[in-house]
Every structure is written in C-alpha cells, then in structure tokens.
A and B are shown apart, each in its own frame.
Chain A
Amino acid sequence: MSARLLIVDDSNIIRNHIARLMGDPRLPSIEVVGLAGDGIKAVDLAKKTSPNLITMDLTMPNMDGEACIEQISKILPDARILVVSALSDKSTALRAITKGAHGFLQKPFTDESMVQSLLELMS
C-alpha cells in the first residue's frame, strides 16, 4: 500500500516545507493527499482522502491537535500520526500521543530529523 500523507499545521510555511521534503531520495514514494491549516479542515480532509500518514501540529485555530488526533484515529484507526510541535509543554504533547498518535518530533525540526521520523513512523 502506497504512503498517503496529510499535513496538518497552521503555518503555511511549515506545511509547504514538509510537502517539499517528500521528494527526499531517502524516503519511499509518499503522496501528499492534503494540507490542512486547522483541526476541522484536517478531520474533513482525513475523511475525504483517507491518508495513512499524518503530520500533526498541536496548537491550531478552530480545533486543536489533541481533539483532532482523537477524531481522526477513530475514523482512520490504521493511520500513523506524527505530532510535530514545539516542546514548550511536554504534558500536552504526551496527552496528544495518548489520544492516538504514534510519535513526536520537536519544532523547529531539521530536514534530516523529519525524514528520519517519517521513516521510523512507517517502519
């Protein structure tokens, strides 16, 4: 099954940056199926595009990452979710992962760390 990635982040710059990284030769072919700037759009896109990989910001307008992870993991129980967030509050990140995410990558991240994290997530 080919990798289908949904990128969720309220920053346009970060969304596009992650999307551009999918051309990295170390990564298998990953199709970016959606970009969402808030939790509600992310849940909507998850329903429509059925991604199996998701990068998830935690602090977002409308619906935060924690609630978003909870909903998406009910809709797509097999999707693997990587929380990508600043480390200002470890307990929020831990709670989010408890709700159904699979891993955590600290912001700001390097290209290298994002690629390695995605590889680990897919293993």
Chain B
Amino acid sequence: MDSNHRSFFGKYSILLAAIAAFFILTVSIFSVNYVLSLQLANDGARIKDSGAIRGLTQQHAKAILSLSHEIAAGDMIQTSQAQISESALALEEALSRSLSQAKTANVAGELELLAKFEKFWRPLAEIGKTIDTRPEPDRGDIQAALTKSNANNVRLMQLADDLTQLIEGAAAARARDLTRIQTGAIAIALVNFLFIVFYTLRSLRRSDRVAEIARGETEQIMATVREGLFLIDPKGIVGSQRSSFLEKAFPRPLPAGADFLEVLAPLVSPEALKSAGEYIGLLFNRRVKVALLISLNPLQQVEIRDADSGKAPAYLSFDFHPVYAAGTDGVAALLVSAVDISQQVALAHELEMAEERSQTEMGLLSSVLKNNPATVAAFASNAEAGLGEINNELRLIKSGPGSYNMLVNRIFRTVHSVKGEAAALSLDTVARQAHRFEEVLSALRQRLDLHGEDLIAVATNTGELLEELSKVRRIVDRIGALEIGTQENEAAAADDIHHTLQRVQRLTLAVAADLGKKVRVETAISPVGTLPDSFRRLLNEGLPQLVRNAVAHGIESSSERVQSGKHAEGSVRIEVRHGDAGGLELVVTDDGRGIDAAALRRNLVSSGRYQDHEVAAMADREVISTIFQPGFSTAENVGEHAGRGVGLDVLLALARETGARLKLVSTPSSFTRFILQWSPAT
C-alpha cells in the first residue's frame, strides 16, 4: 500500500504542486482583497468624517454669527446656542474618530493636518463653551467668539478640505493597488491553470501512448501464441480477452460471458465434466495449495467428441493457472490455456503399440527357442498352406444350397487345428488370434442362411491369422540363419518325437491348469527310427487334439474323481509303438469317465440333434460314432479347449488324409483309448 502511495505522489507531484499553488494564490488574493476592501471602507468613513468636520466647522461659525445677530436684535437665542453646542460636540466626536482612524490608516500627513486642525479649533471650541450654555451670554464673549470664528474659520475649512483630498488621494492609490494586484493574480492564476491543463494533457497523452503500446504488445502476444488462452472468473464465466489460437484449439465458440463448463458439457464425458467442476472449484478455494493439485487436473488430457462437427475426436489439454488479486492471496481468476495434443496422444499410442509389438516378438522368440525351430517352421508352413487353401476356396466358392456352410465347417477344422498346435508350441499370439477366428466362425456355423458377404469377416480373419503366422516365420527364419545347416536335418529327425512329446506334455498341463484339473502325463515310446512324413503329421496335428480331448472331456474334476474312488490326479498316457506289418501306432489313453452310451443318447436328444425315436433305434456303437460328427460336443461351456464340437472330426479327417485308421475303445467310468493305426502300405 505504501509503495502505491509513493508512486501515486511521485507520478502526479508536479500536478499536485501546481494545484496547491493555485489554492495558495487564490487564498492570498482573497486575503489581500479582503484587507484592501476593509481599508477602502475605512478610507470612505474617514472621507465622510472629514467632510462632516468641514460642514460642522461651517455650522459652528454660522451659529456664532446668528447668535450675535439675535443678541443685537433682542431675539431669542436658544436655538443658536443649541446649534453652537451640538455642532461643537459633533465636530469633537468626528475629530476624535478621525484621529484614532488616522493612526491605524497610516496615511502620511493626515495626522499632521488633524493636529493643525485641532490647534485652530481648540480656542474656538473653548470660546464657544462660554456662550452656548448661559441664558444671557456676555456681549464681549460673543464678539470675541465671532472674531475668533471669523479668523479661524477659513483656515479650518481649508484644513478640512486638505484632509478630505489627502484621504481621497490615499484611497484612490489603494484602489489602484487593488486593481493591479487583482489583475496580476488573475494573470498568474490563468498561467497556472494553463500549466495544469497542459501538464495534464501531456501526462494523459504519454500514459495513453504507454497503454497503447502495452495493448499492442498484448494483442501481438495474443495473436501469436500457439495456445488457446482465456480467463475464467470464480463463477466459471469466460472473460473477454483471449488468444486468436483459441478458435483453433477449441472446437466450439467460447463467447465472453459464457459458462465454461456449460460450453464444455457436450464435448466431454459426464465424469470428466463433473471432475472438472470440482477441480476448478478447488483452485478458487483459498484452503488448498494450487501447486499440490496439478496432478489431479482432470482436463490435462481429455478426449473431445464434437458430435456436431462430425470430425474425429481430438485430445485437448487444459492448464489452469491462478491469477491472484492484487495485494491479496485470493485467486481472482484462472488463466486457462488450451492446447490440441491429438498428435502427441497419437504418437504416444503408436509408441505403446510398438512397445507391445516388440514385447510380443520377444514372447514369440522365447516360444520358438523353447521348441525345435524346425518343428515351429513345419507348423508355420502347414498352417500357412492350410490358410492359403482357405483363401483360394473363398475366392472360388460358388453359391449353392449349403455350400457356404460346408466351407465354414471346413475352415473351422483347419483353424481349430492351427489353434491346438500353436498352443502346444506355446505360440500364444497365434493361438489367441486363432481363437478369435474360431469365435467368428462358430457364430456363422449357428446360421443356416449364410450369404457371400458373411464370408468377408472370414477372409479378414484369415488375413490376420496369416499375419500372426508370418511373424512366427520371420523369427524362425532369423534363428534358422544362425543354425548350422547339417545339424538341423539330423537333429530335427532324431528329436522329432522327443520335441513333439515335450510340447504336447506342456499343452496337456496348460489345458488341465486352465480347466482346474489335475493331470499326469505318461509316455511310452518304442524306438521307431526315422519317422515317415505322414506319421509325423499324426503326431504334430493329431496328438494335440487327442490329449486336449482327453483332458477336457475324459478326465473328471478332482472332486468328482475322489467321489468315485479314483486318485485325484488323472492320467493321460501317450504311446508310440510298432504295429502290424511294419506299421506304427499312436495311442492316447485317459483314466477318466469313459464314454457312456446312455449319457450320449440323452445328450443327442437334449441338444436337438436327434429325435427320441431316432436315438432309440440306434445301436450303442452308432451312438458312440456320433462323437466324430462335425459340431458335436458334450462340454457345457464353450472355451478355448473344448465345447465347440470340433476336434474328433478333425482327427477323423486327418486319419483319412494320412491313410491311418482311428480306433476307439472305452469303458464307462474307467478309461477311453484312441488308437491311430498307420501302415506304410497305404
């Protein structure tokens, strides 16, 4: 506050001094005027007195003359006597007044004139006293008075005239002084006034120029700054000053006087709007420390959806800076800066994706390294070939009753195999993509009225799955380049069964863990030498389906097993052995619930696949063979491992393709065994 005062007085000191001088001058002029006016009034009174003295002198002399004539004529003398006495008395009073006033008036020569007057008057006054009171005054006294009066009267008259002229001269001089002083003072006042006007105008012009420059600079800043800047007051009302960029940064007009939150309301989520209201309220709250709230700003990065503009959603960042009221710690307004950060957000998103991709590639790499790269390469080739065939069929398919449905079923089996094998090889990204593809296909399989356009999604998903597979292939290729060629062939041959069994074991345990079951895997492998390609296909593509089926459908939950007197941990046994006539056999046995023909019959009816009477007419063998039909499943929930009714039909198709026979042996509540018999003759 003190500094404000200082600067105020500093800034206007000259103006204030001029105004003070004006006041002093005015007061002085009034004072001088007053004093001179009093003196002039006094001069007037004295002129009047001196005039009276002259008149009274004449009256006194005239009264003495009258008295002498009256005495001579014997007339009454009382009137003349009274006139002598009265005029003398009045003259004495006027004289005494003039004397006392002359002392204060201090006019040169006035006192001397009055003294002379008195000198000539005094004897006349004394003689007058001797004749004015007696009833019969002495004739000698009257004669003496007359003589004296005649002798002094002319002189007294002259003195009274001189006195009048003297005072009149002094009064005239004083009046001239007064006029001069007044004229001078008015001139000075006028100069002072002109100075004040000039100085004020000059100051105003100067401060206007400074304000103009400041306003120009502010306008330049506001026109150039790459942020949308504006102020909002404690009621949330938008101020009139804003940067030009605000129009670009903010998707809606933000007029002065508008309620900021009301304008924002249609552009952001209700949650963001509510939080923004609370946050802005807190910034005006003197209790909170604004510096400790910045990280809570709900509009630091906010998605703006302007439905009216039809443009893509943008991301804005609003920063709020408190503007403190001068001299207090209260927040008078918030300076809001709005910046479009859509590009930064998009960039951050891309970075995130790239990071995710590199993490996925790392995951893929470690999966490939866990397996034999040759096995992974073989899987990728098979899968790519299968999917390539799908692409071809999609291109060539002709519409016809059920043709789309048949194609979808065929694609489903391929994708299901890819999924199973990918899971066995721990190629999670491929398995997940295949699972998504399966979900699309399974929705299509529910429908009987498929059209050409329904297959667009199939083509897209085929492309996406191929993309995942190509990633696998790239990694395998890179690893392959590092490996020594000769080692690859021999090691791959020798480790075929070993690697396959290892991954199948992992798959079995993974499926069991997912389904919350406890399973033990046993293997019994006879020395079989180099594997023929078609048997290797059975191992790579068939075995995963068999163990998945065993764990998902065969093995019961631990509690179920314990209730039926079994060990809590189920067993899946995998055997590779010599068969008849130089053939090979792949056998998978689980000690689970077995296949119960009666339960199957109920399932066939409840699922609506067969009518009561149809099932009743079927032999157990026929009932059991339905599990190899496409779309058959007994699992209640559709998951990644079971429930889609695919698996055994794939197996059957595989057996046909590789020239193997598929045998099934099962005892309810005891075990299920699948035997794939492969013989070189076929």
Contacts and interface: CB of A to CB of B under 8 A. Distances in A.
Interface of A: 82, 87, 90-91, 93-95, 97-98, 100-106, 117, 120-121, 123
Given A104-B295, A106-B295, A94 B289 contact: no
A94 B298 contact: yes
A120 B289 contact: yes
B349 interface: no
Given A97-B288, A120-B291, A104 B278 contact: no
Contact of B296 (A93, A102, A117): A93
Nearest to B297: A90
Contacts of A95: 278
A62 B296 CA distance: 25
A82 B295 contact: no
Nearest to A98: B278
Given A94-B278, A97-B293, A103-B288, 8 more contacts: A87-B295, A90-B296, A90-B298, A94-B282, A101-B288, A102-B289, A103-B291, A104-B292
Given A94-B298, A106-B295, A121 B279 contact: no
B271 A91 contact: yes
Contacts of A120: 289, 291-292
B317 to A, nearest CB: 15
Nearest to B281: A98
B275 A121 contact: no
B292 A91 contact: no
Contacts of A100: 287
Contact of A82 (B275, B278, B282, B292): B292
A106 B292 CA distance: 10
Given A90-B298, A91-B275, A94-B296, A121 B288 contact: no
Nearest to B271: A91
Contact of A104 (B274, B275, B296, B298): B296
Contact of B288 (A87, A102, A117, A123): A102
B292 A121 contact: yes
Contacts of B298: 90-91, 94
B544 to A, nearest CB: 41
12 contacts: A90-B296, A91-B298, A95-B278, A100-B287, A101-B288, A102-B289, A102-B292, A105-B292, A117-B292, A120-B289, A121-B289, A121-B292
A32 to B, nearest CB: 20
Interface in B451-487: none
Given A94-B282, A98-B281, A103 B292 contact: yes
Interface range on chain B (Cβ under 8 Å from partner): 10 to 19
A110 B668 CA distance: 64
A100 B282 CA distance: 10
Nearest to B298: A90
Contact of B287 (A102, A104, A106, A117): A102
Interface in B251-291: 271, 274-275, 278-279, 281-282, 287-289, 291
A20 B281 CA distance: 35
Given A93-B296, A106-B295, A123 B289 contact: yes
Contacts of B296: 87, 90, 93-94, 97, 104
A19 B488 CA distance: 62
B336 to A, nearest CB: 18
Nearest to B292: A103
A87 B287 CA distance: 22
B284 to A, nearest CB: 12
A87 to B, nearest CB: 7
Contacts of A117: 292
A94 B278 CA distance: 7
B288 A91 contact: no
A99 to B, nearest CB: 11
A97 B283 CA distance: 11
A100 B292 CA distance: 14
Contacts of A93: 296
B289 A103 contact: yes
B278 to A, nearest CB: 4
Contacts of B274: 91
Contact of B293 (A91, A103, A123): A103
A56 B288 CA distance: 15
A17 B279 CA distance: 29
B294 to A, nearest CB: 9
Interface in B286-314: 287-289, 291-293, 295-296, 298
Nearest to A77: B287
Interface in B538-589: none
B303 to A, nearest CB: 14
A103 B271 CA distance: 21
Contacts of A91: 271, 274-275, 278, 298
A101 B296 CA distance: 13
A87 B300 CA distance: 13
Contacts of A121: 289, 292
- For A94, A97, A100, the residue with the greatest tally of chain B CB atoms inside 10 Å of its CB is A94
Contacts of B281: 98
Contact of A94 (B275, B287, B291, B292): B275
Contacts of A123: 289
Contacts of B291: 103, 120
Contacts of B282: 94, 97-98
A105 B288 CA distance: 13
A92 to B, nearest CB: 10
The 7 residue pairs across chains A and B that have the minimum distance between CB atoms: A103-B292, A94-B278, A103-B289, A91-B275, A106-B295, A104-B296, A120-B289
Nearest to B300: A90
A116 B295 CA distance: 14
Contacts of B292: 82, 102-105, 117, 120-121
Nearest to B278: A94
B271 A104 contact: no
Nearest to A121: B289
Nearest to A94: B278
Contacts of A90: 275, 296, 298
A87 B134 CA distance: 130
A11 to B, nearest CB: 20
Interface string B52-84: 000000000000000000000000000000000
A2 B289 CA distance: 20
A65 to B, nearest CB: 14
B70 to A, nearest CB: 114
B283 to A, nearest CB: 11
A102 to B, nearest CB: 5
Nearest to A105: B292
Contacts of B295: 87, 104-106
- For B275, B278, B291, B292, the residue with the greatest tally of chain A CB atoms inside 10 Å of its CB is B292
Contacts of B271: 91
Interface string B339-356: 000000000000000000
A48 to B, nearest CB: 24
Nearest to A85: B296
Nearest to A117: B292
A108 to B, nearest CB: 12
B65 to A, nearest CB: 111
A79 to B, nearest CB: 11
